[in-house]
Structure 1
Amino acid sequence: MPRQVDHEERRRRIAEAVCALIDAQGLEGVTLRDVATRAEVSMGAVQRCFRTKDEMLRFALAHIGEQVTGRAHARLRSAPAQSAASAVGHVVGEVALLREEHRAEARIWLAFLAAAAVNPDLAASLRTSYTDLEGLLTRLVAEASGSLDAQGEARTLLALADGLTAHVLIGHRTAEEAERLLHAHLARLWAAHG
């Protein structure tokens, strides 16, 4: 009797293999053969899940975006009594990927970001992730202070988070310094509009 294949589980395993390879070798080091080996599936299985390498990369990018967004939402659910201002800080902290356990995700995210500068399909996927995060932050900033331009501040916070991620990855700032910069920005924001 043929074995049932869970296609979504296989796609997730392949996405995780892609991400592991990007973390180890950069985006240019990802080959279908290496992905199949890392995911412990045949090349044919990879090709049945994804018609092209670009489709596979877009899925892996969406996978990373969903992990980050999922953690941000989980952080909000785990402390529902927190103030909207502290919720903003928690979400931006998750998005910035400053903690050591998220360093691989940060490297992978920035590799995709660099590739998206010349790949319109990856750029479209990234815009979707940013739009989702911007919507969440806009809502939280609006709840924290009705007097702010919530969408403008959400955009600023996302740009700050990305910048801090890059600075930590290249060793220009430590994670602790980046955390302090982020919290100082938020403290000034709430003091000015409190």
Structure 2
Amino acid sequence: MPKKVDHQQRRTLIADALMRVAADQGLEAVSLRHVATAAGVSAGMVQHYFRTKDEMMAFALSVVRERSQIRVTEAVAGLGENPSPRLLLRTMIAALLPLDEHTRDDGRVALAFLAYTAVRPSAASRLREDTAQLTAFIAGVLPDGRGDAAATGLLALMEGLGVHLLGGQYTAEQALTALDAHLDLLFG
């Protein structure tokens, strides 16, 4: 009887390997061969699931996105019913920031993908959709009159803090202090 293969599990195994390669060696090191080696599979298997580097990158980003959504959902669920808008935003953003080793790996992949989309705009469509949805959500939570510009600023702060956390310029405590200071300005 033929062995039943879990294709989603294999794709995720390959995506995890891609993320390890990107986090450890940078995006330029991501190739079918390097990812296959990191996953412990043949290059042919990687090519079976992902025909191109773009396909691998898009899938890896979707894995990071899913992990981020789970972190945010779990963190927000811990707030109970009807948290204040400020606490809700702080909790969501803190869950998205690369504050520990596990989230740093995801953050490195997300940052690498951002750089990747800067030279391949066609690969950024999902990222644009996610950003637009997050901006609209934050704008709806901010106090009256703040709107999209303030939401965009808060997202830019989050991204900037993330880059500096990944580069080691800020500690988790410094990043959260800066986030709190900005939320204080927005919420008064």
TM-score by length of structure 2 reads: 0.89
| Pair 1:188 & 2:185 matched | yes
2:37 counterpart residue number:
37
1:4 counterpart residue number:
4
Alpha-carbon displacement from aligned partner over 1:8-45 (angstroms, at most 9, x marks no partner) = 11111111111000001101101212212222332222
Identity %: 40
2:146 counterpart residue number:
149
Alpha-carbon displacement from aligned partner over 1:81-103 (angstroms, at most 9, x marks no partner) = 22222011101112222334322
How does 1:1-194 map onto structure 2 within 5 Å? 1-81=1-81, 82-139=83-140, 141-142=141-142, 145=143, 147-191=144-188
Q: 1:43 is aligned with what amino acid?
A: A
Counterparts in 2 of 1:63 and 1:173: CA distance versus 1, 3 Å? same
Counterparts in 2 of 1:132 and 1:46: CA distance versus 1, 3 Å? farther
Displacement of 1:135 in angstroms is: 4.0
Q: Structure 2: which 5+ residue stretches go unaligned? A: none
Alpha-carbon displacement from aligned partner over 1:113-138 (angstroms, at most 9, x marks no partner) = 11211112332232233234334433
Aligned partners of 2:62, 2:133: CA distance in 1, in Å?
A: 12
Aligned partners of 1:50, 1:17: CA distance in 2, in Å?
A: 13
Aligned partners of 1:107, 1:87: CA distance in 2, in Å?
A: 25
Aligned partners of 1:44, 1:63: CA distance in 2, in Å?
A: 22
TM-score by length of structure 1 reads: 0.86
Give the stretch that moved more between structures: 175-184 or 75-84: 75-84
Displacement of 1:61 in angstroms is: 1.3
Displacement of 1:164 in angstroms is: 0.7
Conserved? CA contact 1:92–1:161, under 8 Å:
yes
* Corresponding residue pairs, total: 187
